[in-house]
Amino acid sequence: MSDALVLDAAAQDLLFREARTANTFTDEPVSDEQIQAIYDLVKFGPTAFNQQPLRIVLVRSAEARERLVGHMADGNKAKTATAPLVAVVAADHEFHEELPAQFPAFPQAKDLFFTERPVREASSSFNAALQVGYFVVGIRAAGLAAGPMTGFDAAGINKDFFPDGDHSVLAVINIGKPGEDAWYPRNPRLTFDEAVTTV
């Protein structure tokens, strides 16, 4: 534990050091109030031009859960079927429509930078992924475990859950209290010198 951090040690543990990706969950439900509290915290995380392209679909009905499970890779089906709550997180490629309201200091951004769809797709995919990072931290801030997954038929989920053609799924996240044998042994991490260089 380093003195170089201001964040208290309990918060460090809750968010990073002891937090783990859960593969099993208890039956305890995850409430709308919990998700709203998480959102109302992590919505402040920065994005380029305050574009906030992350969209979250909470899969609460049995019918929608069954459809989602059908798109998951075999190894992810059982946990997606049984987690207390499953969220589909996606990038909204039409985020620019919100820019004049969301970035009032520079309302021209919509027309100066984001008229072309490929530019919007690249920007929203990166910025929504940043927001997925904040969201995972937020789930942990609520004392819950996240189980983010990217093993699925993305085209199938996009067609089924985002028929407007303007969104791309980034991840499916199981959310709940960790259950029995919820995690595998902690994997290693790259050392500072492996991940960080100085020029």
| Residues 6 or more apart in contact with residue 161 via CB below 8 angstroms | 57, 67, 68, 88, 90, 167, 169
CA dist., res. 139 & res. 86, Å (int): 12
| Residues 6 or more apart in contact with residue 49 via CB below 8 angstroms | 99, 102, 103, 106, 109, 113
Nearer to a copy of itself, 135 or 179 (CB): 135
The single residue among 28, 29, 36, 97 that binds a copy of itself, judged by CB under 8 A, is: 36
Nearer to a copy of itself, 40 or 117 (CB): 40
The single residue among 112, 116, 181, 187 that binds a copy of itself, judged by CB under 8 A, is: 187
CA dist., res. 183 & res. 30, Å (int): 19
CA dist., res. 133 & res. 7, Å (int): 18
Which amino acid is residue 168, in one-letter code?
S
The single residue among 27, 116, 164, 192 that binds a copy of itself, judged by CB under 8 A, is: 192
Closest separation between CB of residue 27 and a copy of itself, Å? 19
Residues 118-177 that bind a copy of itself (CB under 8 A): 123, 125-126, 129-134, 136-137, 140-143, 146, 148, 150-151, 161, 170-171
Residues 40-79 that bind a copy of itself (CB under 8 A): 40-46, 48, 50, 52, 54-61, 64
Residues 79-108 that bind a copy of itself (CB under 8 A): 98, 101-105
Q: Are 170 and 128 in contact (CB under 8 A)?
A: yes
* Per CB under 8 A, 112 contacts a copy of itself: no
